Amino acid sequence: MSEEQNNEMTDEIQNVVNEPAAQTPEKVFCARCGSEILAGQEFCPKCGQKVGEKLVEMQDKKMTTGNTKKVVAGVAAIIIVVIVVIFLVRGTQAKEITLNKSSITVKVGETAELTYTISPEKTKNKNVDWKSSNDSIASVSDGKIAAKNEGDCTITVTTKNGKTDTCEIVVEPAGPDFTSIFNEYCSSTYATVASDGSYLLIDTNPDDSEFSDVEGAAIVAIIAVNEALELPDSVLNKMGKTRSLDGMQTYEADDFEVTWTYHPDNGLEVMYALTN
C-alpha cells in the first residue's frame, strides 16, 4: 500500500472515531408509580398521572382536598354537638297550655285561683308567667286572683316558649246577689230588683190600695229574704213593730244595709241595698 493510500485510510478512521455517537432517547418515568412513559403519552397508562406534573403538586392537591373535607366534617360535627347540647339543656318544649277555667265571676274583695296543664307531660320547663289585662279590676300572682273593683278583665298565662291560654274575669259588686235572691223568693207583683243587682225592694202594698191582695205573699218573701241574708231575728221583729211615726228604720251589715218604713195606707216597704 502506498503511503498516500495509507494516509487516506488513517484520516477515514480518524473521522469515524471523531464522529458523535448516535443519541439514545432519554426515558421518561411516571412521578407517581414509576412506570415508563412512552413517547406521545400524556398520561401514565398505569395510574393515570399526567405526564410532567410533579408529584408534590398532586400531593398538595390531595392535601388541600383532604383538609377541606376535614374542615367540613369538623364544622358538621360541631353543629351536631351544639344541637345536642341545646336539646339537652332545653329539653322537650311545651306545645300547649290549658287553664282549668275559661271564665270566673267573683265579687269585689273576693279571691279565686286558676290552675293549668302543660302538654306534653314530659315538658322540661313548666314555669309560666301570669298577667292581668287590668290590675285595677283584678290582679293575679301564681294563678291566685284578687278582685279589686267592679268590671271585667282577662287573665293570661304564658309558657316560657310562648304558648298561652286566657280566662275572662267578671268582678261584681261585693255583697249578696240580690238578683238571684229575687228570682228564688220574690215575684214582680210586689218586688223589684235593680238591673245591676245593687238593691232589692219589697212592697207589701205596691198599689197603695185599701186592701192589698199581695200583702201575705210579700211578707212571706221578706221572711225568706231575711233568712237568706242571715239577718238576726230581731230585724224581722222590729219590722213587725214599726209604726208610721217611727220613720225610716235601718240595719247595717258588712256590705249591705236594710231600710224599711211602714204606713197604714201604704203598707211595709223594705229595701235591701249594697253599700260597696
Would you say the pTM of this structure is higher than 0.75?
Answer: no
Question: Is the CB of residue 147 less than 8 Å from the CB of residue 138?
Answer: yes
Which residues of the chain does CATH 3.30.465 include?
178-274
Q: What is the pLDDT of residue 12?
A: 56
Fold observed for domain 178-274: 3.30.465
Q: What is the pLDDT of residue 232?
A: 95
Write out pLDDT tens, residues 147-188: 999 899 999 999 999 999 999 999 988 889 999 999 999 999
Question: Is the CB of residue 143 less than 8 Å from the CB of residue 100?
Answer: no
Fold observed for domain 96-172: Immunoglobulin-like (2.60.40)
Q: In the predicted model, what is the mean pLDDT of the chain?
A: 85
Q: What is the pLDDT of residue 159?
A: 95
Please list, in sequence order, all residues whose beta carbon lies within 8 angstroms of the beta carbon of residue 111, skipping any fewer than 6 positions away: 144, 145, 146, 147
Which residues of the chain does CATH 2.60.40.1080 include?
96-172
Write out pLDDT tens, residues 103-115: 999 988 899 999 9
Give pLDDT < 50 ranges for the chain.
16-17, 21
CB atoms < 10 A from the CB of 215, how many? 17
Closest CA to 167 of 121, 118, 115: 115
- Residues counted in the chain: 276
Write out pLDDT tens, residues 122-154: 998 889 999 999 999 999 999 999 999 989 999
Q: What is the pLDDT of residue 111?
A: 95
CA dist list (Å): 265 to 12, 114, 205: 177, 54, 8
Please list, in sequence order, all residues whose beta carbon lies within 8 angstroms of the beta carbon of residue 129, skipping any fewer than 6 positions away: 157, 158, 160
Please list, in sequence order, all residues whose beta carbon lies within 8 angstroms of the beta carbon of residue 1, skipping any fewer than 6 positions away: 9
